[in-house]
Structure 1
Amino acid sequence: MVSIIQMKLEDSFRIRDIDRSETIELVYTCKNEVLEEIKTGHECPNWKEDDYNAVISRYEYELKNGGTAFGAYDGDTLVGFGVLANKFRGKENDRLQIDLMYVTRDYRRQGIGRRIMDELSKAAIEKGAKYLYISSTETESAVNFYTSCGSAITSEIDEELFEKEPCDIHMIKRL
């Protein structure tokens, strides 16, 4: 039984339990709010040490600055997690970003990501957000996941996030 629990700053080391590897058959680009498919067919490897350190650093930064994280645990093993960033975005300052969202390879397609999204959505509403802002990786699995959770392509792209990851698909979810 997988439990969803609010994570604390000191839980950051558990991120090393996550296997983010996946087979990627399709990625998207977005032009004028229209998704275009690109077939790829490659294996995305698990994180290396530098990658883990970067993700853990982002996690710790957000939690130290008022962000919120939820983890999915199978016993003591972290099998998924999501981080709600602390900074409000958008012209109306009514959007909070999903900064990190991962489910380990062997636990995907079991509703764990949706359960984490539900908890992050509740936390965002409690903080006063009207939308979630998602800068999603361009993979078919990520874009389809966020779409299935009620997200849609946004016309109001956050410039700061776009500069960091220009290939990402920018979406919003009304809360």
Structure 2
Amino acid sequence: MIDVRKMHREESDLLSHIDRSEYIRAIYRQIANGVEERAAGHECTGWDAASLRKLQQRFEEELEAGGAAFGAFEGERLVGFAVLAHQFRGEHKDRLQLDLMYVTRSHRRQGIGRSLMDEVKREAVLRGARYLYISSTETDSAFNFYRDAGSEPTEEVDQELFTLEPEDIHMIISLEKE
């Protein structure tokens, strides 16, 4: 059984439980009138020690700044997590960013990502957000997951996030119905 609950800054070491590896069939590139798909066909490996530490620091810093994290646990093992950033974005300051989200390889396509996304959406609404902003990796699995969760490419791209990750697909989900 999977238990989804809030995570705390001190639990950043649990991120090492996540196997982010995946086979990437295709990648997407954001273009003026939407997105285009390109064949990829390669394996993405797990995090090396330096990348894992950077991820843990990002997790810790976001929670210290007022963000929220949710973890999906199978017993004591973390099998997925999502982080809602604290900073409101957009012209009207009505968007909160889904900063991080991963589900371990062995537990994908079991509804864990959807459960984590539901928690992030609820928290964003509680904080007063009208939209959830997503700067998604360009992989087919990430893009299709977020699209299936109700997001679409945004016309108002956050320039700070674009500068940090220019290959990402920038998307938005309306929280008006949540």
Which category describes the TM-score, using the shorter chain as reference length? over 0.9
How far apart are 1:167 and its partner, in Å? 0.4
The within-5 A match list for 1:90-169 is 90-169=90-169
Count of residues in Structure 1 that have an aligned counterpart in Structure 2: 175
Structure 1 residues 129 and 89 mapped into 2: Cα distance closer, same or farther (>3 Å)?
A: same
Structure 1 residue aligned with 2:43: 43
Deviation >4 Å, runs of 4+: none
The answer as to whether partners of 1:33 and 1:155 remain within 8 angstroms in 2 is no
Structure 2 residue aligned with 1:69: 69
How far apart are 1:129 and its partner, in Å? 0.3
- Sequence identity of aligned pairs in percent? 53
Hey, what's the Cα distance between the residues in 2 that align with 1:92 and 1:33?
23
One-letter amino acid of the structure 1 residue matched with residue 37 of structure 2:
E
Structure 1 residue aligned with 2:8: 8
How far apart are 1:131 and its partner, in Å? 0.3
SS for the counterpart of 2:116 is helix
The answer as to whether partners of 1:33 and 1:154 remain within 8 angstroms in 2 is no
One-letter amino acid of the structure 1 residue matched with residue 63 of structure 2:
L
The answer as to whether partners of 1:9 and 1:60 remain within 8 angstroms in 2 is yes
One-letter amino acid of the structure 2 residue matched with residue 44 of structure 1:
C
Structure 1 unaligned spans of 5+: none
Cα deviation digits, residues 52-105 of structure 1 (max 9, x gap): 001101100110010000000000000000000000000000000000000000
How far apart are 1:33 and its partner, in Å? 3.5
Normalised to the residue count of structure 2, the TM-score between the two structures is 0.97
Normalised to the residue count of structure 1, the TM-score between the two structures is 0.99
Cα deviation digits, residues 108-166 of structure 1 (max 9, x gap): 00010010000000000010000000000000000000011111100000000000000
Hey, what's the Cα distance between the residues in 1 that align with 2:105 and 2:17?
11
